[in-house]
Structure 1
């Protein structure tokens, strides 16, 4: 495909697993379109982290720019995990708009396309004002973006049929393309929680505006078909990354097939100490080999005795190459918070899951994993207990149901592999995406 020059402004969301996959996509686009300039806007801290893990060779057409994080000078954080996020949300969209204006003035390059995290709903209006395409990058699954698009429908329907949204077990079976889910599977801010918080308002605004965009993501064809009926384009794209500085793969090479538990709970939250102890006790009692990606230094002391007793059984690392770990034949189960990236990489590895969701779309993902796709199980009662975790480990690693979960995961994986093949939908969609970002006129 022949491409022309242009200036793509990339707006990233600096929290969770958002900026890194967007940067990976930008790298692939930059390699395919070397005459295209990509300006990557995010917070200083997020840019430093994202760009420290990428190789710059061959990517002279990507440049990071820092935007204000909204934190008052001299502010002392309380330790709440969402505090920094709320400061950033309150600074939007002014921080992105003003920084973009500065960069356009400095470089003399007018923007030809906006490629942004879908969370940043205001990008649609900015693209409209500039007369350029808006591509929204969705880092979660199609189920959750569908929920946000239908937020007003959910609120109106539940209120009119039930009167109270507190009925956690009420089934939502009226959403197009969506398998039946329960009220308590919904992300906070849709029907319960603080609906006026900055994060809830952001998600609601996104659901109201994202139909204007070309949107990148998909896995479930039924839901995707419904999304395609509402949006200009829905494009599927997946991409791996790899670095094994902690020797996870060489350690796994010494283990038996499908015997190891891999544990990771994302970048934002860690289970509370009582749950960590219960999880550790279950692993120790069952003698399950494990790799644990443990990033929360403030809680690692909870596991000191466990780590000493199991030093020959398991391996704890501050970071692991998750996709490559999950693709290793020695891994038999993934104990996860059920974030979308983790779900997708577990499917890519053909590994069934034990799910302990915390917030956001994680409970919805758990419902799909356990009840719809049947490729994993939620922990009993929604929290880790020793007894419940032992039961889940037995089910996945030793029970016939666990074997069936692995087969089901393999079936979904086969479809994904086909999608990223030479003539697959993901490959074709990347070509379409490349065409969109290299077209200076709005489509």
Structure 2
């Protein structure tokens, strides 16, 4: 099937101009077809001589098909605009996708400047890509704001000179962070801030099914460090939690783990066996929490091999410990008995994780879980060193298993001795 990009832009010029430039570059540098779509009101301004405001236009390498956002006269001051335009726009973009397919021009990828378009693409089984129109630095600020740093900003909102330290970014004062992040909920412009929040939430949803793709309106040399930091954050952002096939958690321990995970502000995947949960009646399998997912089972090696996983909270059974080393994932150890306590110590010696401390009742408290996760996944030198060590042990494990490696040699020697 020939590639066909549908680029969907919000109505304002600040979205239309960069989105249109992207479409022109795609059309001129590849054999792909490009259709550009913005609201009827903006389309009418772009092509003032049309017989009807929604008339399709073929202009060189790009086709232009507008969608109705429900406000075709362009009056976005209407009090109902903020609450209605997304649903209306999504429905009408979906109709465009369906119409193009019926006409033998199926869309193969949707590129969009606001999150709501992804719903229309998903309904048709088409991949979608967010086009972030601002600098990578601003993307990183919004990303971290919605991953636990909102409290830092709002607790110091009355001190514009207060310095905020965000991972991978230079120090910023409150007055230097995007003003949309300091708009209170009751403000008339708060809905604009919510649009940005929806984009970050979209990325988190897409992480559950694969690696999300974001196009950023910048270039490598301009923001190299920030782009590298964003790549690392999106690739190693998820906390994976599993305590093996024998552990049984009481209600108190389960609540503490849930609290600690939520307090990290990070997305998480928690495997909680059916017979291990004390609150099964309150949580169905696959239930999605605000930033996490609780499952009864998953393929652990598939999870650990996924680039999104940045930390494994584990009981330190040897199978799990060996798998974390093989896949280069740092750990938070929560051992209970048998060899687990020794394995947890060995992880510390190998430099790839920390052991969490339990209280006098043997319970891992939420605050301790949060602390340990932040040590392992945070931007401190200790966490960075653990991630470097984890990568090194992954490479050594691969060497050992490869032809001529120590494990390969020993297994061959065993077979030869038995056969002798």
Q: TM-score, normalised by structure 1?
A: 0.42
Larger RCO, structure (CA 8 Å, separation 6 or more): 1
Q: TM-score, normalised by structure 2?
A: 0.44
Find the structure with the greater CA-based Rg: 2
